[in-house]
């Protein structure tokens, strides 16, 4: 039994509203530094972490030594549970890019898309974007997909918007599941249970975006005879995403969902085509309007698909319900407090499990190396690209978890949750909006879950909501806020003429993002009132 070290203080200001305002200071500081002063994420997180630790020790009277340990255990959790996965996801992506595998896959996919802009959008923005999100995230789906759409005739600002809206549904499972792993780490909830709950909500959310995408590129005319494509695109993704999220954890729903979306859509196009071939804006064009490229050899196609199959096979074998590898622990350390809300023990714990999913993904990369046999120069290029892309994000992953652990351990999260619980059942409307606000300002679903996940979990317990509902809505709310996240936009526009003009993109994306947020609020009500067992 863990012996509690100190009792958290519920209302240190002796005024609940003022206490809640002070508890919000770390979040406000972090988001203002990111969104207003436009500081680098790692610099803003250092300052935000220092503010959080200072408030926990001075205002909430948490012991300094235990607070320092809580921060350390959180930082180590961020390193091993999240950074270790995102690092290898980017390494795999860069390896496939440098060796030419990913460009070959992209070329093959473009060649299958036909001249119709609706088909191109579903295959390239929706399915291919989900694959990019599943492997890398961080705005790369916009940066890669938008130029492809521009080359196919879409106006650049609209191409970026299409890439951004298509990126909505896959985000919770992005970067090989990092946001959900983050959520499980700060809430203490079962990783697989959270993944399954979020997978159910995302399956409903994913029904809408393909309709919006077809409308955005071809208008009402495009929807009139292109609606079957929207249905097939939705269910093609769900066909892979849903079962993988229910049984195999958060690592591969996007990757498998993308591949099933490709497969189902291409098979559907063998038996159905729109009556009229439409270009961008719903203008009729000839099927031969697009220049034809030399077809790829079967050997090239198989070589381009094989690394993804290797990744799926290794990760499923390593992390599936039959495997004990992820649960193997070498060491564990913790500090504890008595909760100011429940009177139960609150624990900041670091559990060193060396054979978790990140190690499985690293092992899949080694198998890919044996297949691809990159040269020494290519290997150096992969290392260089990965370092320049990831060093800041890896620092943020460590610091944001230290901040989140202290926020919970010091009592700030419980004070804030107790205040928000006064909203009663109306909080079901607020939960997804908080996720949307968090990612819109911070740019990261992973960071948003780290910041608000434990808080949403506590509010849910105070209001006796289904256990997994509010944390799940926080994560999915963060999905739909991505198109207006400045940090995501800064990466997404890096291949366009909108570099350093992200505001124009954010304003262009805003109305459809709000429409998707309203849809998510309705989904939250559906699960709360009609399907509570699905998120319990």
pLDDT of residue 1: 44
Mean pLDDT for the stretch of residues 46-72:
96
Higher pLDDT: 254 or 137? It is 254
Nearest C-alpha neighbor of 162 from the set 202, 117, 199, 198: 117
The partner residues of 350 in beta bridges, in order of sequence, read 333
- Quickly state the pLDDT bin for 361 (edges 50, 70, 90): very high
Is the per-residue pLDDT at 426 higher than 70? yes
**pTM for the predicted model, two decimal places:** 0.90
- Quickly state the pLDDT bin for 4 (edges 50, 70, 90): very low
- What confidence tens digit (pLDDT) does each residue in 320-339 have? 888 999 989 999 999 999 99
- What confidence tens digit (pLDDT) does each residue in 59-69 have? 999 999 999 99
- What confidence tens digit (pLDDT) does each residue in 460-496 have? 999 999 999 999 999 999 999 999 887 788 778 878 8
What is the residue-wise DSSP string for 291-345?
A: PPPPPPPHHHHHHHHHHHHHHHHHHHHHHSTT--GGG--SEEEEEEEE-TTTSSE
CA 505 to chain centre: 20
Task: Report yes or no on 411 lying in a domain.
Answer: no
Task: Report yes or no on 482 lying in a domain.
Answer: no
Is the per-residue pLDDT at 441 higher than 80? no
- What confidence tens digit (pLDDT) does each residue in 406-422 have? 999 999 999 999 999 99
Say which residue the tokens 């320049």 belong to.
388
Write down the H helix ranges in 138-188.
140-151, 156-166, 174-187
Give the separation between CA 282 and CA 360, rounded to whole angstroms: 45
Give the gyration radius of the chain's Cα atoms. Answer: 23
Task: Report yes or no on 475 lying in a domain.
Answer: no
The SS3 call for residue 79 is helix
- Quickly state the pLDDT bin for 182 (edges 50, 70, 90): very high
- Quickly state the pLDDT bin for 522 (edges 50, 70, 90): very high
pLDDT of residue 75: 95
Task: Report yes or no on 261 lying in a domain.
Answer: yes
- What confidence tens digit (pLDDT) does each residue in 246-291 have? 999 999 999 999 999 999 999 999 999 888 999 999 999 886 656 5
Report the chain's mean pLDDT, rounded to a whole number: 92
Task: Report yes or no on 476 lying in a domain.
Answer: no
Q: Give how far Cα 154 sits from Cα of 98, 160, 161, 199, 325, Å.
A: 27, 9, 11, 32, 47
What is the residue-wise DSSP string for 201-270?
A: HHHHHTTSHHHHHHHHHHHHHHHHHHHHHHHHHHHHHHHHHHHHHHHS-SSSHHHHHHHHHHHHHHHHHH
Q: What percent of the chain has pLDDT over 70?
A: 98
Task: Report yes or no on 1 lying in a domain.
Answer: no
What range defines the domain where residue 207 resides?
Answer: 90-287
Domains identified in the chain, total number: 1
Task: Report yes or no on 231 lying in a domain.
Answer: yes
Task: Report yes or no on 158 lying in a domain.
Answer: yes
Mean pLDDT for the stretch of residues 16-38:
89
pLDDT of residue 289: 58
């Amino acid at each position: 039994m863990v012996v509690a070290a100190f009792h958290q203080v519920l209302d240190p200001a002796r005024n609940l509203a003022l206490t809640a305002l002070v508890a919000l200071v770390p979040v406000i500081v972090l988001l203002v530094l990111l969104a207003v002063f436009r500081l680098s994420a790692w610099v803003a997180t250092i300052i935000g972490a220092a503010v959080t630790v200072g408030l926990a020790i001075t205002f909430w009277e948490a012991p300094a030594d235990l607070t320092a340990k809580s921060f350390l255990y959180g930082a180590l959790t961020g390193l091993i549970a999240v950074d270790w996965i995102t690092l290898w996801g980017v390494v795999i992506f860069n390896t496939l890019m440098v060796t030419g595998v990913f460009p070959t896959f992209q070329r093959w996919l473009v060649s299958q898309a036909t001249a119709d802009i609706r088909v191109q959008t579903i295959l390239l923005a929706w399915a291919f974007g989900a694959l990019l999100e599943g492997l890398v995230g961080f705005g790369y789906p916009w940066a890669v997909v938008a130029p492809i759409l521009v080359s196919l005739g879409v106006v650049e600002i609209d191409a970026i918007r299409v890439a951004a809206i298509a990126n909505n549904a896959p985000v919770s499972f992005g970067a090989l599941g990092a946001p959900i792993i983050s959520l499980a780490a700060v809430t203490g909830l079962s990783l697989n249970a959270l993944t399954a709950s979020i997978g159910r909500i995302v399956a409903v959310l994913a029904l809408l975006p393909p309709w919006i995408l077809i409308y955005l590129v071809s208008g009402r005319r495009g929807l009139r005879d292109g609606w079957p494509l929207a249905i097939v695109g939705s269910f093609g993704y769900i066909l892979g995403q849903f079962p993988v999220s229910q049984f195999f954890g958060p690592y591969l729903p996007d990757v498998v969902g993308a591949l099933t979306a490709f497969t189902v859509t291409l098979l559907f196009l063998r038996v159905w085509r729109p009556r009229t071939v439409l270009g961008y804006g719903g203008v009729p064009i000839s099927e031969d309007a697009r220049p034809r490229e030399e077809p790829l050899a079967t050997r090239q196609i198989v070589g381009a698909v094989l690394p993804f199959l290797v990744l799926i096979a290794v990760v499923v074998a390593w992390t599936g319900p039959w495997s004990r590898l992820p649960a193997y622990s070498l060491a564990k350390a913790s500090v504890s407090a008595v909760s100011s809300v429940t009177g139960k023990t609150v624990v900041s714990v670091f559990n060193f499990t060396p054979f978790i999913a990140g190690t499985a993904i690293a092992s899949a990369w080694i198998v890919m190396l044996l297949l691809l046999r990159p040269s020494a120069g290519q290997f150096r290029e992969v290392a260089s690209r990965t370092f320049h892309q990831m060093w800041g994000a890896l620092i943020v992953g460590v610091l944001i978890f230290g901040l989140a652990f202290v926020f919970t351990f010091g009592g700030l999260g419980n004070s804030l949750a107790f205040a928000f619980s006064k909203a009663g059942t109306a909080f079901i409307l607020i939960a997804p909006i908080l996720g949307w606000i968090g990612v819109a300002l911070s740019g990261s679903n992973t960071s948003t879950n780290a910041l608000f996940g434990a808080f949403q979990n506590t509010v849910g317990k105070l209001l006796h909501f289904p256990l997994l509902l509010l944390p799940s809505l926080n994560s999915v709310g963060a999905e739909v806020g991505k198109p207006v996240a400045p940090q995501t936009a800064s990466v997404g526009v890096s291949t366009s003429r909108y570099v350093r003009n992200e505001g124009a993109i954010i304003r262009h994306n805003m109305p459809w993002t709000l429409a998707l947020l309203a849809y998510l609020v309705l989904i939250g009500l559906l699960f709360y009132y009609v399907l509570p067992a699905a998120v319990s």
